[in-house]
Amino acid sequence: MTESNYDEIMMLLCDRLSSLTNSNVQITSETNLISQLSIDSIKLLNLIMEIEDTFDVSIPINALTDIQTVRELADLVHKIKSAS
Amino acid sequence: MNLLEKLDAAAAARKALLPDGVGAFGIPIEEVYSATEARIGDRRVLLLGTNNYLGLTFAPECIRAAHEAIDKEGTGTTGSRMANGSYFGHRALEREFADFYQCSSGIVFTTGYQANLGTISGLVGPGDTVLIDGDSHASIYDGCILSGADIIRFKHNDMVDMEKRLRRLGDRVETTLIIAEGIYSMLGDQAPLAEIVKLKNTYGGTLLIDEAHSLGVLGETGQGLVEKTGLLQEVDFITGTFSKSLCSIGGYCVSNHPQLEQLRYVSHPYIFTASPSPATIASTRAALELLRKGSHLRKQLWRNCTQLYAQLKEAGYTLGPDPGPVIAAMLDTPQQALLLWQNLLEHNIYVNLILPPAAPEGRSLVRCSVNAAHTKEQIQYVGDTFAKLHSLVCG
Ligand SMILES: Cc1ncc(COP(=O)(O)O)c(C=O)c1O
């Protein structure tokens, strides 16, 4: 998987997160999903389903336990997509 | 934030939803008069917030069996079956469940929650996959987490979505456990079992159905959705609970796979907990017998469900898609749901209030559970009261 795919993942995540949260927080790769965006667990689970469909991959929700920032989420999706 | 401050923050969030003094969660019930009536505060209320679907909480056969078991075997087993042994009743109930489902084996667990924990974590482990309905009960989620398997969700009852996710799994379906429920506890809707079975047969995988809310309710003899759909033989594992239509506590798993027996040696929620007490097992055995020959109770239950569903629909409430013993009115806001719930209680009707995030998709629910012991007049009164409150709440 190439750099541009990674950027694509990052862009999609930032875009979806900002519409999910409607907050004024400027979303960057270091934004914390829970403490800064207050994403609740159900919204996060639904976002995962969307990402699965967009990139045609399976993302186990238990892999989310270690995820705090937008970058970590993008890394996870990128890793799974690259392996698929 | 330290550990205790985190709990304080959670308490503050709960208080923001529910004003002080509104004890909608864990309401104190002072006295229970019958399967349909109890005292809350100084009110004699109609119970529409229990899972007593067949109305058997005071069945004389069950009460007598429990008394006799206590007299003969004492109040508790004081330990797990692995260490302290299996009483005659445990083994008999397992045979009776296997016979009821025409299966080769059955295992009894101490609660329905543990039946899911124990079955799921016994069947799958790290490296395996569970494919579950997004609206699954917490016991299913917790069982999946305990197992260490990869958890993939499909959209609730959405078969196009389920197929997409099955297809993506590729070869991994061989070690995939698919899980759905007979009746979902939030909206009372049923799983599209025929389509789930079709997908399972096309792609592969092992299928587990939780009949917690459908046991005693669906099918000629009350087996649940597997009987209603005629698909018993297509389902690999069935779990369920004693805490609803059987009116006690405990849970079960039945299967035709002989490997089920192995769960007794690998499943922590089976091994490391005390076995059900003699009285619990005895009343459950008596209740299972009543359930199996209880088609008159099912008829009465369904008459009540159909009547209340029709009355609430007519009154203008938005309900779940299938009429059944769980009838949930969906409200736009938590405030509306709370207002309806409080007003119903003032009319001496106790129902369940379910607020986000417990209800799916951020909805707020006022949920009724209908049972076979409710009289036509009681159901009529509940329906009329809902109708009377519609404009106050939704207007
Ligand atoms: C679908 C489902 N499965 C399992 C359970 C757990 O049953 P129990 O109350 O016996 O622990 C419940 C009960 O709340 C349930 O709704």
The answer on B264 and B192 residing in a single domain is yes
Sign of CA dihedral B248, B233, B170, B162: negative
Name the domain count of chain B: 2
In chain A, where the domains are located: 3-83
pLDDT at residue B22, as a whole number = 63
CATH code (residue B384)? 3.90.1150.10
**Greatest distance between any 2 Cα atoms in chain A:** 35
Structure confidence by residue, pLDDT tens digits, B141-190? 999 999 999 999 999 999 999 999 999 999 999 999 999 999 999 999 99
The reply to whether residue A57 touches residue B144, judged by beta carbons under 8 angstroms, is: no
For the cut 60, the answer to whether the pLDDT of residue B58 exceeds it is: yes
For the cut 80, the answer to whether the pLDDT of residue B264 exceeds it is: yes
The reply to whether residue B168 touches residue A58, judged by beta carbons under 8 angstroms, is: yes
pLDDT at residue A4, as a whole number = 60
Structure confidence by residue, pLDDT tens digits, A60-84? 999 888 899 999 999 999 999 888 7
Among candidate residues B292, B315, B330, the one where a domain is terminated: B292
Instruction: Between A34 and B301, name the one with better pLDDT.
Output: B301
Tell me which chain A residues have a C-beta less than 8 angstroms from the C-beta of B134.
45, 49
Nearest to A49 among B145, B149, B155 (CB): B155
Among candidate residues B292, B316, B346, the one where a domain is terminated: B292
**Using alpha carbons only, how large is chain A's radius of gyration in Å?**
12
Task: Calculate mean pLDDT across residues B87-112.
Answer: 98
DSSP-derived secondary structure for B275-297: PPPHHHHHHHHHHHHHHHT-HHH
Ligand 1 centre distance from Cα of residue B136 (Å): 11
Fold topology of A3-83:
1.10.1200
Are B90 and B73 within 8 A, CB to CB?
Answer: no
Structure confidence by residue, pLDDT tens digits, A27-63? 888 888 878 877 777 888 888 999 999 889 999 999 8
* ipTM here: 0.88
Nearest CA in chain B to A65: B145
Give the helix/strand (H/E) hosting A60: none
Nearest to B169 among A41, A58, A61 (CB): A58
If you take atom 15 of ligand 1, which residue's CA is the nearest one? B212
Which regions of chain B does DSSP assign to beta strands (E)?
31-32, 37-40, 43-47, 105-109, 129-133, 150-154, 176-181, 206-210, 237-241, 251-255, 318-319, 326-331, 349-350, 352-354, 364-369
Q: What is the pTM assigned to this prediction?
A: 0.95
Nearest to A56 among B151, B152, B168 (CB): B168
CATH code (residue B254)? 3.40.640.10
Average pLDDT over chain B reads: 95
